[in-house]
């Protein structure tokens, strides 16, 4: 079963969390990561499908993480 990814990316005003299309803004990276992690964990608990968080750093690197739960 393929892992469903939630994304965190930097934007000019801070950070954005992408889940199901529309981005949700977050002022700081840690807040965006916590939001994406909580969404991924809740999705896993509701569906049983594996999830993860994809973080694009300001330097352009991409990091994959498992949800904190």
Q: Given a cut of 60, is residue 63 above it in pLDDT?
A: yes
**Strand ranges across the sheet with 23-26:** 23-26, 14-18, 4-11, 51-56, 62-65
Radius of gyration of the chain (CA): 11
Task: Quick: pLDDT tens for 1-47.
Answer: 788 999 999 999 899 999 877 888 999 999 999 999 999 999 999 99
Q: List the structure tokens of 33.
A: 């990561």
Q: How many domains does the chain have?
A: 1
């Amino acid at each position: 079963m393929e892992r469903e990814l939630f994304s965190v990316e930097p934007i000019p005003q801070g950070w954005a969390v992408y889940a199901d299309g529309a981005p949700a803004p977050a002022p700081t990276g840690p807040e965006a990561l916590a939001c994406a992690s909580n969404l991924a964990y809740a999705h896993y608990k509701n569906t049983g499908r594996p999830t993860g968080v994809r973080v694009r750093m300001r330097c352009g690197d991409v990091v994959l993480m498992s949800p904190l739960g």
